[in-house]
Amino acid sequence: MLNLKPFQLSLINALTLIAFGGYGYIQSESPSATALIPVIIGILLIAMNKGVKNENKIIAHIAVTLTLLIILGLIMPLLGSLQRSDTAATIRVILMIATSVIAMVGFIKSFIAARRS
């Protein structure tokens, strides 16, 4: 498995949120402004990426909070896509959740390592 740093995982997550969130919004028959929330969070995560890379604790904690919020926020869209039997939307949302969870695990491991040292 690749040993990526938290800022790299967060960047991958941000790009995934922007790409899949934006695509989901564009391809929707009735797009809602709330569908752009992953895109906005992705943009915010990219804006904070340098601070996360430089191990700025405040910025890293904000990035973790946004990552947690997007994980929780994507639960309803996942349930909605499952209810509609929309396979493409389900895959998009699962990928966004997966990259967010992976980024969250990377942050937690980093925080634990920093605490130990």
Q: What is the pLDDT of residues 18-48, one digit of tens each?
A: 999 999 999 988 888 998 999 999 999 999 9
| 97, pLDDT greater than 60 | yes
pLDDT the model gives residue 83: 97
Q: At what angle do helices 75-83 and 57-73 cross, to 10 degrees?
A: 20
- Helical residues (DSSP H) of the chain, grouped into ranges: 6-27, 37-53, 57-73, 75-83, 87-116
* Residue located via tokens 């804006």: 47
Q: Report residue 117 as tokens.
A: 């040292």
CB atoms within 10 A of CB 109: 12
Lowest mean pLDDT of 50-54, 90-94, 109-113, name the range: 109-113
pLDDT the model gives residue 88: 94
CB atoms within 10 A of CB 77: 21
Name the pLDDT band for 1 (thresholds 50, 70, 90): very low
What's the average model confidence in pLDDT over 69-92? 96
| 117, pLDDT greater than 90 | no
